[in-house]
Amino acid sequence: MKKLLIGLIVLCLLGVCPVVVQAKESLLVFAAASLSDALKELAGEFQQENQAKIFFNFAGSSALRLQIEKGGPCDIFLAADTASTEKLLTKHLLVPESAVNLLKNQLVIVAGLGHEEKFDSLYDLRLAAGEYIAIANPQTAPAGMYAMQALKNAGLDTKYKKNIVPTLDVRAALALVGSGNVKYAIVYFSDVHNINNVRVVYPIPRPLHEPIIYTAAIVKTGENSVMAQNFLAFLQTARSKKVFQKYGFQSF
């Protein structure tokens, strides 16, 4: 230590005193894929005002939950459902008092711009042989689970079983319909906000599926609990709610 101090003093006397830069604290946030655009904008604002760097892992909520259960490093978990957060709470992997209901969303059926069909109900959905509807994988993403609930409650899940294409997450389903590889997709309303190559053909009535509630909580094994608390509090401010609403989400 003495040698280090002497060395710094010598450098300063020579006029080349090094500048000490405070390292930024970092956060690793696991978040539902549908939150990616809004969170990236909010993270940019938060980073400018705080000595922090935020990194994201975007995927289906169930897949992210499994990563946390297997010991994956994470500071904050943001899910597109309540079940994923509740399961982690049951396993004592989240800070209980930090868990909050953050946002709401809605399911919609979308089609490419070349399709002119207009739906008055979910029963207007027509899929011939070789025509497909993309949904997020119900096993890994809540969006797919909600979509299957709606199709089942409308009595269409069995009828179109061979026409349903599960994808990695809701963004992948949206990409398939946008590229013309499938006729329709069931996605969140927030996913088609400001997207130019698809259009909403039918908002799915909320009674056909469980309420779409986004939850958030701090992970117990996270390395920066104070900054995690600050970022989670920031996401609940009026300022952040306006950004979420801009991307098609509804706040509590």
Q: Is the pLDDT at 20 greater than 80, yes or no?
A: no
pLDDT score recorded for residue 24: 63
Mean pLDDT of 86-92: 98
Q: What is the pLDDT of residues 99-149, one digit of tens each?
A: 999 999 999 999 998 887 878 999 999 999 999 999 999 999 999 999 999
Q: What one-character DSSP code corresponds to residue 220?
A: T
Residue 194, Cβ neighbours under 10 Å: how many?
Answer: 10
Helix 170-178, helix 142-153: angle, nearest 10: 70
pTM of the model: 0.85
Strands 164-167, 133-136: parallel, antiparallel or unpaired by DSSP?
Answer: parallel
Q: Which strands make up the sheet holding 213-218, listed edge to edge? A: 52-59, 25-32, 76-79, 213-218, 100-104, 250-251
Q: What percent of the chain shows pLDDT beyond 70?
A: 90
pLDDT score recorded for residue 10: 39
Query: Where do the domains of the chain lie, and which CATH numbers do they carry?
Result: 24-104+212-251 (3.40.190.10), 107-208 (3.40.190.10)
pLDDT score recorded for residue 51: 84
Angle of CA points 185, 193, 183, to nearest 5°: 20
Q: Is the pLDDT at 247 greater than 60, yes or no?
A: yes
Banded pLDDT at 202 (limits 50, 70, 90): very high
Q: Is the pLDDT at 2 greater than 60, yes or no?
A: no
Banded pLDDT at 95 (limits 50, 70, 90): very high
Hey, what are 176's tokens?
A: 């398939």
